[in-house]
């Protein structure tokens, strides 16, 4: 796909793993809209759904495949031939289609279909070979890889590579790993698996312990070149790695993580809001990058610093993620400098004495209200003028 060794592919699974969050179901039209936005923002691979799961999923994946302009369109399939055929039927319309097939390889997951290690190995060989006969671009995932015995994980990755997989994805399905372990596992797989240097290694992390972003970045530092993620970190349980977090971390800390993506970061905020609206999942106020407060400063010291030099309290520019600018919400912690700046914006000019008086009134109001809005300030200025 790319020969640039520091280029990290972004694989977005908002429409598949993200939509698996209880209650996050999206309509057909909403899925097409989100896929279009992902394609426009430069996502490399869009996992558009699980075609065998329902007729609706099949239709959505087929139409997304037909409308895609640049992104590779991927569908998910269990390690079963009818799943893989159905997946291919849906993605084959894309300019660049991919089949993603998976099976749970840890002892707990092997027990569910009741397969021995050898039986599962045979199934992997048969299904990956079948997928590769249909499509040149095949991704294979050993689900629950981070809880799979090393020897068995190595063995099944080798089988998948020999059978034609072009990307091997290492899922931390239950968000169990930690950054050092995530890095060690990827490094060892690349070095010790036969054929490990001939495929792309992907990292797919869940956020059960709040470490999905750290684990994904550690995997990249160890050699993974595809990050699987979702907008706003939507996904099963505590969610998946958040696209906006890994992309901005690689951009802002490029000095210590010299990797890059092709995401147009200015499109992040718009897609975050659309995904929140269509999934019905609000974004927490203090969510990194896309939360309402991510670029807001209320305390007097911070607001004063921000008015003098934005770098005092911001490590990235709000414009870089598609916001109009920093916000300095006024509340009881705000100081005079921010109040004056806001009143000037609203068209009120005043001398120091008048500001002193208005500031006392403002603090009284702020003690009663969580946030003081423009209309509150206009009313406050009107009252101040009337009592002069
Ligand atoms: O978390 C997981 O293991 C998955 C696989 C289907 C890749 O989502
Ligand atoms: Zn997952």
CB atoms inside a 10 Å sphere around CB 340 = 18
Taking residues 274-289, report their average pLDDT.
Answer: 97
The answer to whether the CB of 114 falls within 8 A of the CB of 146 is no
Q: Which numbered atom of ligand 1 lies nearest the CA of 236?
A: 1
User: What does R_g of the chain's alpha carbons equal in angstroms?
Assistant: 25
**235 Cα–ligand 2 center, Å:** 7
Residue linked to tokens 């939509």: 19
Q: Which numbered atom of ligand 1 lies nearest the CA of 17?
A: 8
Pocket probe mutation, ligand 1, options 83, 157, 174, 204, max atoms within 8 Å of Cβ? 204
What local confidence, expressed as pLDDT, does residue 40 receive?
98
The answer to whether the CB of 46 falls within 8 A of the CB of 262 is no
- Say whether pLDDT at 191 is over 90: yes
What is the C-alpha to C-alpha distance for residues 198 and 195, in angstroms, rounded to an integer? 5
Nearest alpha carbon, ligand 1 atom 2: 173
**62 Cα–ligand 2 center, Å:** 22
**202 Cα–ligand 2 center, Å:** 12
- Say whether pLDDT at 2 is over 90: no
Residues in the chain: 388
**100 Cα–ligand 1 center, Å:** 10
Give the three-class secondary structure for 236: coil
Q: What is the pLDDT of residues 51-89, one digit of tens each?
A: 999 999 999 999 999 999 999 999 999 999 999 999 999
Q: Which residues are annotated as a binding site for Mn(2+)?
A: 17, 204, 206, 240
Ligand nearest to the backbone CA of 239: 2
Percent of the chain with pLDDT over 70: 99
C-alpha separations of 343 from 81, 140, 302, 339, 381 in Å: 67, 58, 18, 6, 9
Q: Is the beta carbon of 109 within 6 A of some atom in ligand 1?
A: no
Most confident of 31-35, 331-335, 346-350: 31-35
Taking residues 335-346, report their average pLDDT.
Answer: 92
Q: Which numbered atom of ligand 1 lies nearest the CA of 173?
A: 1
What is the C-alpha to C-alpha distance for residues 12 and 16, in angstroms, rounded to an integer? 9
Most confident of 218-232, 327-341, 346-360, 367-381: 218-232
What local confidence, expressed as pLDDT, does residue 1 receive?
53
Q: Which numbered atom of ligand 1 lies nearest the CA of 206?
A: 1
């Amino acid at each position: 796909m790319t020969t640039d060794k520091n280029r990290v592919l972004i694989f977005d699974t908002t429409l598949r793993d993200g939509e698996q969050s209880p209650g996050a179901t999206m309509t057909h039209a909403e899925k097409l809209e989100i896929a279009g936005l992902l394609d426009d923002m430069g996502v490399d691979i869009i996992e558009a759904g699980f075609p065998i799961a329902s007729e609706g999923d099949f239709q959505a994946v087929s139409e997304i495949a037909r409308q895609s302009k640049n992104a590779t369109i991927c569908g998910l399939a269990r390690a079963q031939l009818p799943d893989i055929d159905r997946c291919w039927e849906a993605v084959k319309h894309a300019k660049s289609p991919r089949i993603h097939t998976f099976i749970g390889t840890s002892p707990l997951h092997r027990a569910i279909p009741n397969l021995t290690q050898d039986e599962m190995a045979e199934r992997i060989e048969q299904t990956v070979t079948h997928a590769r006969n249909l499509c040149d671009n095949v991704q294979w995932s050993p689900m629950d890889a981070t809880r799979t015995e090393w020897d068995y994980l190595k063995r099944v990755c080798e089988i998948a590579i020999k059978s034609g997989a072009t990307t091997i994805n290492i899922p931390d399905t239950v968000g169990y790993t930690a950054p050092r372990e995530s890095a060690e596992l990827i490094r060892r797989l690349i070095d010790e698996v036969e054929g490990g240097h001939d495929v792309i290694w992907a990292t797919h992390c869940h956020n059960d312990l709040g470490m999905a972003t750290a684990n994904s970045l550690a995997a990249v530092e160890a050699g993974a070149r595809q990050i699987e993620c979702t907008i706003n970190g939507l996904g099963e349980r505590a969610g998946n790695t958040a696209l906006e977090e890994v992309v901005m971390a690689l951009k802002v800390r490029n000095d210590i993580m010299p990797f890059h993506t092709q995401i147009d970061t200015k499109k992040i905020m718009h897609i975050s809001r659309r995904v929140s609206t269509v999934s019905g999942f609000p974004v927490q106020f203090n969510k990194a990058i896309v939360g309402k407060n991510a670029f807001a400063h209320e305390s007097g010291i911070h607001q004063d610093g921000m008015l003098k030099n934005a770098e005092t309290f911001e490590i990235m520019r709000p414009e870089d993620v598609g916001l109009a600018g920093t916000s300095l919400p006024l509340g009881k912690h705000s100081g005079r400098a921010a109040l004056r700046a806001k009143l000037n914006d609203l068209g009120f000019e005043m001398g120091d004495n008048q500001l002193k008086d208005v500031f006392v009134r403002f603090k009284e109001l702020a003690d009663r209200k969580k946030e003081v809005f423009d209309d509150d300030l206009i009313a406050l200025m009107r009252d101040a003028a009337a009592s002069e």
